[in-house]
């Protein structure tokens, strides 16, 4: 393959990798709507839909909650096919073995993700919904890394000057791990129906941190049942409080990270400021979710922004690691070991 053809192929693969990541993000939004609207079990069978082949399900039956659940399945099938095509494209055009391997891992991940989604329906297990949601975040994070790795700036080392930030790599890794843990708390609340265990904000049952005894909890659940809500538990209340506390901690840490990045390269500075902006929006959406009694569109927006915060962290970790002085040193050492 000539250099011109290789350059064109690389550009096309990069564009397709970005498209696949965007499609997967749309799939995430679709799944968020399914959960937010409480329609995850409106189609009770899988892989069929009410006995029909998924792709032959009559349009006349795409009504109510069935519409959201069935569309989610169709988008998932499309994203799965796109992931397979991406892996094949990487196998055919990508000279770096580790990037090709990431493509293979993405295929395995999307298959496991699809099976988890199906088992969530057939086994009627809320816990599987938590793993399904968290694997989705990890899968799209992997697609983000593939997209960045196939870009011309990264493949040729042209983005090196934008990501020089000695000492910030560990900060980025720790913060990204904390964000993933925060998303896991949120997924637990959503899939265990604990998202509105507390109806007021910024206080909780009129307290900074609610200390609810058995008698108070019983009274709360009498009111919840009368309002058509499922009963809550002290465990669910504390999970939501931990979620709130983590949001404050992350906001503070993001601000510290942005302050530490003020003298770093341009890419790091921009990413750190976006992290701060997104976490402020996310806290506002979290409050709005409570005040709106968990309105589906607001709740889904809360899920979406949380995912963007994670993806931004993953991107920073990858770029900081790729262009760190230590990475450059290891690359030179490896080149010296290759005989001329």
> Mean pLDDT in each 10-residue stretch from start to end of the chain (340 residues)?
66 96 96 87 89 92 91 95 97 94 97 92 82 94 96 79 82 96 91 76 90 88 86 89 95 96 90 96 95 92 97 95 62 49
Among 110, 140, 156, where does a domain finish?
A: 156
| Nearest CA among 94, 212, 203 for reference residue 155 | 94
Beta-carbon contacts of 259 under 8 Å, excluding residues fewer than 6 positions away, are none
| 11 and 126 together in one domain | yes
- How far, rounded to the nearest angstrom, does the alpha carbon of residue 129 sit from its chain's CA centroid? 14
What is the Cα–Cα distance from 340 to 333, expressed in whole angstroms? 14
**Alpha-carbon 15 to chain mean position:** 21
Helix spans in 94-204 (H): 97-123, 126-149, 152-155, 169-191
- CA–CA gap between residue 27 and residue 79 (Å, rounded): 8
b/e string for 278-295 if b means 16 or more Cβ within 10 A?
bbeebbebbbbbbeeebe
Among the three residues 137, 156, 175, which one is the final residue of a domain in this structure?
A: 156
- 140 contacts: CB under 8 Å, gap ≥ 6: 21, 24, 25, 28, 307, 311
- Domain co-membership, 218 together with 123: no
Q: What is the pLDDT of residue 90?
A: 96
282 and 134 inside one domain = no
- By the 8 A CB rule, do 307 and 140 touch? yes
Supply the pLDDT for residue 122: 86
Q: Is 101 found in the same domain as 49?
A: yes
pLDDT of residue 155: 78
Count of the separate structural domains present in the chain: 2
Per-residue model confidence (pLDDT) at position 85: 98
Same domain, 242 and 93: no
Token readout for 221 is: 């659940």
| Per-residue pLDDT, 338 | 46
Domain identity same for 33 and 104 = yes
Residue 237 CA to residue 221 CA, distance in Å, equals 12
The pLDDT, as a whole number, for residue 324 is 65
pLDDT at 195: 57
- Say whether 339 sits in a helix, a strand or coil: coil
Q: Are residues 176 and 324 in the same domain?
A: yes
Residue at which a domain ends, from 121, 156, 191: 156
Same domain, 117 and 208: no
Residues 138, 192, single domain; the answer is no
pTM (predicted TM-score): 0.91
Considering the domain architecture, whether residues 90 and 184 belong to the same structural domain is answered as no
State whether 31 and 111 are in the same domain.
yes
pLDDT at 8: 80
182 lies in which domain range? Answer: 160-340
Q: Are residues 129 and 211 in the same domain?
A: no
């Amino acid at each position: 393959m000539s250099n011109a053809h290789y350059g064109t192929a690389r550009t096309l693969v990069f564009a397709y990798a970005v498209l696949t990541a965007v499609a997967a993000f749309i799939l995430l939004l679709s799944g968020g709507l399914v959960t937010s609207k409480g329609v995850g079990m409106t189609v009770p069978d899988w892989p069929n839909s009410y006995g029909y082949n998924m792709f032959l399900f009559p349009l006349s039956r795409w009504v109510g909650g069935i519409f959201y659940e069935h569309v989610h399945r169709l988008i998932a099938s499309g994203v799965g096919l796109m992931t397979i095509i991406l892996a094949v494209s990487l196998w055919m055009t990508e000279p770096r073995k580790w990037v090709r391997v990431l493509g293979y891992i993405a295929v395995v991940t999307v298959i496991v993700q699809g099976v988890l989604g199906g088992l969530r329906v057939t086994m009627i297990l809320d816990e599987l919904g938590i793993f399904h949601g968290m694997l989705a975040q990890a899968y799209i994070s992997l697609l983000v890394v593939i997209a960045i790795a196939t870009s011309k700036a990264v493949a040729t080392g042209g983005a090196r000057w934008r990501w020089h930030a000695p000492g910030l790599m560990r900060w980025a890794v720790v913060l990204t791990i904390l964000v993933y843990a925060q998303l896991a708390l949120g997924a637990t609340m959503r899939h265990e129906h604990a998202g509105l265990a507390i109806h007021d904000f910024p206080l909780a049952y009129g307290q900074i941190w609610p200390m609810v005894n058995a008698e108070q909890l019983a009274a709360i659940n009498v009111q919840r049942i009368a309002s058509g809500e499922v009963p809550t538990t002290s465990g669910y209340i504390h999970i939501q409080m931990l979620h709130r506390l983590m949001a404050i901690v992350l906001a503070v840490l993001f601000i510290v990270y942005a302050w530490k990045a003020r003298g770093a390269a341009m890419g790091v500075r921009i990413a750190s400021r976006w992290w701060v902006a997104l976490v402020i929006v996310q806290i506002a959406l979290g409050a709005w979710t409570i005040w709106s009694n968990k309105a589906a569109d607001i709740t889904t927006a809360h899920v979406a922004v949380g995912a963007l915060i994670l993806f931004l962290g993953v991107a920073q970790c990858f770029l900081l690691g790729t262009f760190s002085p230590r990475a450059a040193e290891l690359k030179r050492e490896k080149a010296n070991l290759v005989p001329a």
